[in-house]
Amino acid sequence: MVDMDRLLARPSPLERPVAGPGLHTLPLGGRRDSYLFVPEHVHPRQPAPLVLLLHGAGGHAHDGLRMLLHLAEHAGLVLVAPASTGATWDIIARRRYGPDLALADAALSYTFARCAVDPARLAVGGFSDGASYALSLGLNNGDLFTHVLAFSPGFIGPGTRRGRPDIFISHGTRDRVLPIGPCSRSIARELHAGGYPLSYREFDGEHTIPPEIAQAAVEWLVAGKHPEEK
């Protein structure tokens, strides 16, 4: 029996034609488009870091891409951005994993078949509800994801935790959408207690991703530079 919180896609040797540079619409069906971004200067068969990016509630795959797209070319990041089936992700809207997990799995499978991916820099990230979903998928699939980037998350969803991915969390101290106390501070305590490697950054701001936070997260992922914990 397949666990309902599991992603089955795995990187594999490239057999199909590689994806060229630029932005691609993924042919995965669904009511809303999902996207793949391949940086220009990365050799198509040289393994590159990959981030599966999950948008916030009410957002679209383009909103997921915008989190790191401005940094992806310079950093050499492959980005995969699916769109949730509804206004937000399935465990939040439906209280269970379902079509959004299946779509993320299909997006990864498509990408792994066409892009050389560095298995030591394979991340899932998101903002707001997308950050909660990224934490949930990342912890439940830590044998696939090596890193989790959670920008202003609200909670960690259900499931069986596997592996021990490195985790980056940021949150604004003046966030009124998802207040930092019951959200990221509580999550950080739980992760510390569980022994997860955690880089935690608070900033003076609201429900957003400041440019310096996005930059720090990318440096942490690509170069192993861990921002100062606060």
Instruction: Give pLDDT tens digits for 7-41.
Output: 999 998 887 778 889 999 999 877 789 999 999 98
Q: What's the confidence (pLDDT) of residue 223?
A: 80
Give the confidence band of 224 by pLDDT, cuts at 50, 70, 90.
Answer: low
Q: 31-223 maps to which CATH number?
A: 3.40.50.1820
Instruction: Give pLDDT tens digits for 118-151.
Output: 999 999 999 999 999 999 999 999 999 999 999 9
Query: Is 227 a residue whose pLDDT tops 80?
Result: no
Query: Is 229 a residue whose pLDDT tops 60?
Result: no
Q: Which two tokens stand for residue 105?
A: 């799995």
Mean pLDDT of 84-108: 93
Q: What is the pTM of this model?
A: 0.94
Instruction: Give pLDDT tens digits for 157-208.
Output: 999 999 999 999 999 999 999 999 999 999 999 999 999 999 999 999 999 9
Q: Which two tokens stand for residue 44?
A: 């198509």
Q: Which two tokens stand for residue 32?
A: 């809303």
Query: Is 73 a residue whose pLDDT tops 90?
Result: yes
Q: What's the confidence (pLDDT) of residue 18?
A: 81
Query: What is the C-alpha separation between 5 and 109, in angstroms, rounded?
Result: 16
Unique residue bearing structure tokens 């003046």: 174
| 56 Cβ contact list (under 8 Å, min separation 6) | 63, 88, 126, 127, 128, 129, 130, 131
Query: What is the C-alpha separation between 145 and 138, in angstroms, rounded?
Result: 6
Query: Is 94 a residue whose pLDDT tops 90?
Result: no
| DSSP-H helix ranges across the chain | 61-66, 69-75, 90-93, 99-112, 129-140, 186-193, 211-223
Give the confidence band of 230 by pLDDT, cuts at 50, 70, 90.
Answer: very low
Q: What's the confidence (pLDDT) of residue 169?
A: 98
Mean pLDDT of 77-94: 93
Q: What's the confidence (pLDDT) of residue 29?
A: 79
For the chain, which residues make up each domain, given as ranges? 31-223
Query: Is 225 a residue whose pLDDT tops 80?
Result: no
